Homo-oligomer: A and B are copies of this chain.
Amino acid sequence: MNSYVLPTDIAAVSLALTDLALCEARLMNDARYVWVVLVPRRAGVVEIEDLPPAEQKQLLDEALEAGRRVRAMGEALGRPVEKLNIAQLGNVTRALHVHVIGRRADDPAWPRPVWGVGDAVAWTAEQGPIVQYAWG
């Protein structure tokens, strides 16, 4: 039985974008980065290896699609992506999720990873529609 629910700690810090075939795509509510999180709608899955092979491949394809969307959002904001970061960590929130982050040399964490650097800055009412348009 698949009794998937979006992890509450991811829900609390992100905004809905769209449902892909496997994953919920969420926008992190942190205007410092264009940062999408993909959460496979599968209960009890922690590692990529826990998915069946077809869904592992689907997750990769959705991460690459998210990368294209992140690039489009960055363009729409006038902040083109200079480097993508794609990562599956899960040390704190165990339910499998993949980060797809657009990085720039002028972002506050560069060149280090984004996690744990300062505090999130919520998207404004003006910015929100711009960044959500790609999957609005």
Pick from A11-19, A25-33, A85-93 the stretch touching chain B: A85-93
Contact, CB under 8 Å: A112 / B91: yes
Contact, CB under 8 Å: B86 / A91: no
Does any Cβ of B come within 8 Å of A74's Cβ? no
Those of A83-136 within 8 Å (CB) of chain B: 83-92, 94, 103, 110-113, 115-116
| Chain A interface, >50% SS class | mixed
Contact, CB under 8 Å: B110 / A91: yes
Pairs across A and B, CB under 8 Å, 19 listed: A46-B83, A47-B67, A47-B83, A48-B60, A48-B63, A48-B84, A49-B84, A57-B57, A57-B60, A83-B94, A85-B89, A86-B87, A89-B113, A91-B103, A91-B111, A91-B113, A92-B111, A112-B116, A113-B116
* Other 16 A-B pairs with CB < 8 A, given A48-B86, A83-B89, A112-B115: A46-B83, A47-B84, A48-B64, A57-B57, A57-B60, A84-B88, A85-B87, A85-B88, A86-B87, A86-B88, A87-B88, A87-B89, A91-B111, A91-B113, A113-B113, A113-B116
